[in-house]
Amino acid sequence: MKWLDLPFVKTARGMVQLPGSKSISNRILLLAALAEGTTQVHDLLASDDTARMLDALTKLGISITQIDKNDYSIIGGNGTFPVKQADLFLGNAGTAFRPLVAVLSLMHGHYRLSGVSRMHERPIADLVDALRQLGANIIYLANSGFPPLEIKPMDSFIESNTYFVTMKGNVSSQFLTGLLMALPLSEKKSIIQVSGTLISQPYIELTLAQMQRFGVNVERTDWQQFSIPAHQGYRSPGHITIEGDASSASYFLAAGAIGRGPVRVQGVGRDSAQGDVRFAAALEMMGAKIAMGENWIEASNAETGHTGKFLQAIDLDCNHIPDAAMTLAVTALFAEGATTLRNIASWRLKETDRLTAMSTELRKLGATVEEGADYLRIIPPVNGLIPHAAIDTYDDHRMAMCFSLASLGAPIRINDPDCVTKTFPHYFEKFSQITHPENKINPTKSSIPI
């Protein structure tokens, strides 16, 4: 079992160039593969999740050439995939699995999609039910409602000139994203009616923005109905540059807020289409000083010379920043009072049950935590963080990155640090560059018996 010891660090200060956004990267890869023409994709995120998507698209017959380290040339299939039968292994990449299920169900081919064991525990029934309304022929290969899946050619075709489908909005925004990205392939007008409250709305905004870059416009009525006009095929814009990952920015911005700062992240700024840029506003509510430019965000202490406990607890509905809200949970260890993060039930359906995992690990550091069905209430320890806690990460990249922030209060151990390769392979090196203990010690990896 690998582990990583992080020393107690006094301050955080410096600049970080962010890797490309995972959410944008996998959306752009799929849209480029479906488009007419060739797309040059620049600054693509290099991670396990994007590697799964690249591998799947290659197996589906799409020509992809790596031009440089993070630059690719993709020759689109003009609305189809050349390969009509394939077995695809997608690891634990939800941003690859869910949209591919939707797209492949309209491809009139025979496909099998599987992943790691955790992916097979993540529900997909709401997406499958929606696709079956369109005539999709999808079979559960193990447990009903969960991957792995088999997709066969449609049994029947809807005669109407309009596809009309309803789906729940309160489980995962990736289901609606997949449906939105797939329906332009039908060439019919499509109407999606969302029942209930749509969670993670900024991720749908992100999807619509990327679709528009490829020439497809979606008409939205509030967050309850989405209409896609007929005959809107995807067309390559030629060149696309992936902006920096706003979710990854949250860890460094929080470090700047806790550890004096300033810490500046480059690659994402005030005009970003990513919802997680709103994390900066949450830090500001806690008392941090935030500055923004077109392509950068900076965080520091609002009160020079103070660290940590000048931050104030907040009570926040986190529906709009579900991933970055995890960073707030650890930041709460450094705030005065009880922080409550609400509307985060979707955490339970991610790479692990993040509500329970976060509660368990925060308690190791001495926090008092109340875990509800869709909220966390966190009271920091009175006498500082418990030193040398061994933080379990549950094969969840965000757990590992979030808890690195605890080293601003005490030395800690991160178990299985390599799980960050899912989205940010060099995270701990970047974190080490901006954190400054009195006697700088490079973090070291070791192995100990299980």
pLDDT computed for residue 117 by the predictor: 94
Please tell me if the domain spanning 2-19+243-447 has the same topology as the one spanning 22-230.
Answer: yes
pLDDT computed for residue 371 by the predictor: 96
Produce one character per residue of 310-321: b if its CB has 16 or more CB atoms within 10 Å, e if not: bbebbebebbbb
Write down the catalytic residue from 48, 126, 323, 396: 323
Asked if 5 is an active-site residue, the reply is no
What does the alpha-carbon distance between residue 316 and residue 300 come to, in Å, rounded to a whole number? 21
CATH number for 22-230 (one of 2.30.42.10, 3.65.10.10, 3.40.50.720, 3.30.2270.10): it is 3.65.10.10
Instruction: Tell how far CA 265 is from the center of its chain.
Output: 18
Q: Where are the domains of the chain?
A: 2-19+243-447, 22-230
Token representation of residue 80? 């189809």
In what side-by-side order are the strands of the sheet with 225-228? 162-168, 189-195, 225-228, 219-221
pLDDT computed for residue 157 by the predictor: 62
pLDDT computed for residue 381 by the predictor: 96
What does the alpha-carbon distance between residue 344 and residue 328 come to, in Å, rounded to a whole number? 12
Phi, psi for 190 (deg, rounded to 5): -130, 140
Q: Residue 89: which of 75, 79, 100 has the closest Cα? A: 100
Cβ contacts of 222 within 8 Å, gap of 6 or more: none
For the range 193-197, what are the long-range contacts, defined as Cβ-Cβ under 8 Å and sequence gap of 24 or more?
A: 193/164, 193/165, 193/166, 193/167, 193/224, 193/225, 194/166, 194/167, 194/168, 194/169, 194/223, 194/224, 194/225, 194/226, 195/166, 195/167, 195/168, 195/169, 196/168, 196/169, 196/170, 197/169, 197/170, 197/223
Residue 175, CA distances (Å) to 11, 86, 123, 244, 350 in order: 41, 22, 10, 24, 13
Nearest 5°: CA angle at 292, between 299 and 340?
Answer: 50
CATH number for 2-19+243-447 (one of 1.20.1600.10, 3.40.50.720, 3.65.10.10, 3.40.50.300): it is 3.65.10.10
**Tens place of pLDDT for every residue, the chain, 450 residues?**
599 999 999 899 999 999 999 999 999 999 999 999 999 999 999 999 999 999 999 999 999 999 999 999 999 999 999 999 999 999 999 999 999 999 999 999 999 999 999 999 999 999 999 999 999 999 999 999 999 999 999 876 667 789 999 998 888 888 999 999 999 998 889 999 999 888 888 889 999 999 999 999 999 998 999 999 998 999 999 999 999 999 999 999 999 999 989 999 999 999 898 989 999 999 999 999 999 999 999 999 866 444 446 799 999 999 889 889 999 999 999 999 999 999 999 888 787 899 999 999 999 999 999 999 999 999 999 999 999 999 999 999 999 999 999 999 999 999 999 999 988 999 999 999 999 886 554 444 433 222
Cβ contacts of 22 within 8 Å, gap of 6 or more: 45, 47, 49, 50, 95, 245, 247, 423
pLDDT computed for residue 445 by the predictor: 43
pLDDT computed for residue 309 by the predictor: 60
